[in-house]
Amino acid sequence: MLSLTNLLCDHAAGNERLRYGHTTSSANATPRPVVVWGVTKACNLRCVHCYASADANPAPDELTDTEGFALLDDLRTFDVPAVLFSGGEPLVRPSTVDFIRHAHALGLSATLSTNGLLIDEAMADRLAHAGLKYVGISIDGTEGRHDKLRGKQGAFKESLAAIDRCRQRGIKVGMRFTVHALNREDVPEILDLCRDHDVQRLCVYHLAYAGRGGKMQKVDLTATQTRGVVDYLAQRCRIDHATGSTLEVLTVGNHSDAAYVLMMLEREGTARARTVAERLRGTGGNRSGCDVASIDPMGNVHYDQFSWHYTCGNVRHTPFSRLWTEATDPRLHILRNRAPHLPPRCRKCRFLELCNGNLRTRAEAATGDWLGDDPSCYLTDDEIGLHEPAPTPNSPPQSSLI
């Protein structure tokens, strides 16, 4: 995750040490990942871009409640920084609130990723009493667009109502928005919704070619469109924070954004570019297989939440802590030091330490090679240093989304 508000406005959300500290630890130390646990494949919606390909039914042989509690115990002992309960729709599983309560009792930071449709007044009370501090709720655009992409009329209003209920109980809310060609024009309205509903964080996800999202490659943003979205987000961050906004704005799933923001600051010719470059080096770029892990409903371990097509092991056979420490799976082993294995364009890129080769699942979906080029890199050869850099006009970034 790239925090535009921190990089551009020095907004502090309290998690900067976690975000920028990945390259300061010993190279021989086992990374402690944020773990995304899909507690069930069942979902009450059928979203067109779902990376889990969720449907109405649980997957066969999902982890039992007893196994789930044992998994959380292991994650706490392993000292992971956080666990994110996901799905499918996690609240379809009745025991998810019990899992959240157990994680809270262990002192394990727990967050929830949900569509919000099951958060009525009673559920909001249960989540608050279970100790939940943060919930991410997905919004895909303005009302008509959201309902169409989610496959349910009225879903937009129900999700906004869930946001309001969580805020009324003091639960921090993050709005999650996956941007593509079908909804990019809704970005201004999404920012306005965050303001109007007291949302603390907006996560703008780039499209991952995983699950049903793999069928949406044809509506992914072009390089020009991606630049327009990032330019607009950057401009709004600066304007809104100058007038007192405390909304944290992040982009997720495309580490080309890090290089693009740095170039934006370099064009402006301020000393801030050096400060931001140091922060970005501290992120280590994409950290799949290192500081990000995913566990699916059956206990299969994956190197991030978009890589359910590839399994590194199973917690029923090997505790997660041991599996992550030993890293005997070939892909997991390579991801701990991936730079020498990346395609030539990445290895030669001047921003390699800020990006780390971007999203491997998207590269595999597009090229058939998990170590191939990620097609969502929107930087030119000149910009990444493959040729002599072209003259850059000293002008502010464009704010248009068109």
Residue written as token pair 């009525």: 120
In this prediction, residue 287 has a pLDDT band, given cuts at 50, 70 and 90, of: very high
Report which residue type is found at 76. R
Smallest CA-to-CA distance from 62 within 110, 113, 99, 34 is with 99
Instruction: Classify residue 382: in a domain, yes or no.
Output: no
CA dihedral 229, 292, 263, 384 (to 10 degrees): -110
Smallest CA-to-CA distance from 42 within 57, 64, 63, 61 is with 57
State mean pLDDT over 285-298: 97
Report which residue type is found at 351. F
Which residues, listed in sequence order, are joined to residue 251 by a DSSP beta bridge?
A: 2, 204
- 266 exposure class (CB count in 10 Å sphere: 0-12, 13-18, 19+): middle
Cβ-contact 257, 2 below 8 angstroms: yes
Residue 121's pLDDT is what?
98
State mean pLDDT over 302-308: 96
Cβ-contact 262, 333 below 8 angstroms: no
Which of 2-16, 61-75, 358-372 comes out lowest in average pLDDT?
Answer: 2-16
pLDDT digits (tens, 9 = 90+) for 384-402: 999 765 455 554 544 444 3
Residue 394's pLDDT is what?
52
Residue 273: both structure tokens together: 């570019």
d(CA 98, CA 110): 12
Structural domain count, the chain: 1
Domain of 188, CATH number, reads 3.20.20.70
Would the pLDDT of 279 be above 90? yes
Residue 208's pLDDT is what?
92
Contacts of 288 (CB under 8 A, 6+ apart): 303, 304, 307, 335, 359, 360
pLDDT digits (tens, 9 = 90+) for 114-152: 999 999 999 999 999 999 999 999 999 999 999 999 999
Residue 193: both structure tokens together: 């919704």
State mean pLDDT over 330-348: 97
Instruction: Classify residue 355: in a domain, yes or no.
Output: no
Instruction: Classify residue 19: in a domain, yes or no.
Output: yes
Q: Which strand (E) or helix (H) includes residue 163?
A: helix 155-168
d(CA 100, CA 109): 9
Would the pLDDT of 25 be above 60? no
Instruction: Classify residue 160: in a domain, yes or no.
Output: yes
Instruction: Classify residue 358: in a domain, yes or no.
Output: no
State mean pLDDT over 217-230: 95
- Domain range for 119 is 2-338
Residue 400's pLDDT is what?
47
Residue 57's pLDDT is what?
86
Residue 17's pLDDT is what?
78
Most distant pair of Cα atoms in the chain: their distance: 61
Which residues, listed in sequence order, are joined to residue 288 by a DSSP beta bridge?
A: 292
d(CA 245, CA 263): 25
Which residues, listed in sequence order, are joined to residue 174 by a DSSP beta bridge?
A: 136, 201
Cα distances from 398 to residues 24, 202, 234, 401, in angstroms, run: 35, 21, 10, 8
Instruction: Classify residue 262: in a domain, yes or no.
Output: yes
Number of residues that make up the chain: 402
Per cent of the chain over pLDDT 90 is 84
